[in-house]
Amino acid sequence: MADEAVALEASDVFGLGGLWIPQSSTLSTENEYAQMIKANGDFEKWSSTFNALTNITNPYKYNADTGMGTAMPNIGAVCNGYLITEMSVESIYNDYPTVNFTGHNHGENAHIDDRTQYAVSIPLLLTGALGAYDLASLAADEVCATRSTYTISVNHLDAECDGGDHWVGQNLQGMESITVEYIGHIDTFTVAGWTVRNYTLDDSNEAFDTSSITFEKYLIRV
């Protein structure tokens, strides 16, 4: 008996194409059911499904050393049938960055492109180049970035009505955040336009000094 024809390839779920190389994808579906309970506590009735929801997570690599930011879709946009609610760039000193997109859509009254959107505000710092991104630009002669995470997200609000199906959705409260980890202690804790959420300085006799800092910023709608 011959091998089964099972695909060995990651899917470009969001349809980004071009220089975006999908690494994997995870799709999960959720359905709601109504339950009617009898007087004795058992189930009397189990309805058909309603309010179907599909969730998507799709990590990518970007096959170019410059310009990733200018190629990124807006958060809140619908790409290939799925509304993007979050994007994160994770970079580390010995690898190419991974760009994770998260989104969803509904079986009834699916989202379309004319909803509120938010754009990446630091595109020039986001590339597909090897290594850790010093997104806070706080490294110095004795301080080196080892890992960073950039995240942009929206609070997506959905509403259901009538028979319980999805009726309408909207994006609001767009936010960006940056976390950078360093070998060595940073000596400044400010980045123009960003608010510091926390920072950590670790001083040990068994390892090099390390530090980390997290910033965030609210976004204006596109």
Contact 160, 197 (CB under 8 A): no
Q: What is the pLDDT of residues 56-89, one digit of tens each?
A: 999 999 999 988 888 899 999 999 999 999 999 9
174 token code pair: 């767009």
Q: Is the pLDDT of residue 154 over 80?
A: yes
Report d(CA 192, CA 73) in Å as an integer: 25
Question: Residue 165 burial by CB count (10 A; 0-12/13-18/19+): exposed, middle or buried?
Answer: middle
For residue 163, what pLDDT is reported? 87
Per cent of the chain over pLDDT 90 is 75
Per cent of the chain over pLDDT 70 is 100
pTM, two decimal places: 0.91
Residue 90 CA: distances (Å) to CA of 106, 158, 160, 211: 28, 28, 35, 17
Structure confidence at residue 118 as a pLDDT band (50, 70, 90)? very high
28 token code pair: 């999960």
For residue 8, what pLDDT is reported? 82
For residue 121, what pLDDT is reported? 87
Q: What is the pLDDT of residues 44-60, one digit of tens each?
A: 988 878 999 999 999 99
Identify the residue whose tokens are 């955040």. Answer: 177
Q: What is the pLDDT of residues 164-220, one digit of tens each?
A: 999 999 999 999 999 999 999 998 898 989 999 999 999 989 999 999 999 999 999
For residue 173, what pLDDT is reported? 96
Mean pLDDT of the chain: 93
For residue 47, what pLDDT is reported? 82
Report d(CA 161, CA 174) in Å as an integer: 26
Q: What is the rounded average pLDDT of the residues 144-156?
A: 96
Sequence-separated (6 or more) residues with CB below 8 Å from residue 201: 185, 209, 210, 211
φ/ψ of 117, rounded to 5, equals -130, 160
Number of H helices, E strands in the chain: 0, 12
Report d(CA 78, CA 105) in Å as an integer: 9
Q: Is the pLDDT of residue 1 over 80?
A: no
Residue 42's identity, in one-letter code, is: D
Contact 186, 144 (CB under 8 A): no
Q: What is the pLDDT of residues 16-41, one digit of tens each?
A: 999 999 999 999 999 988 889 999 99
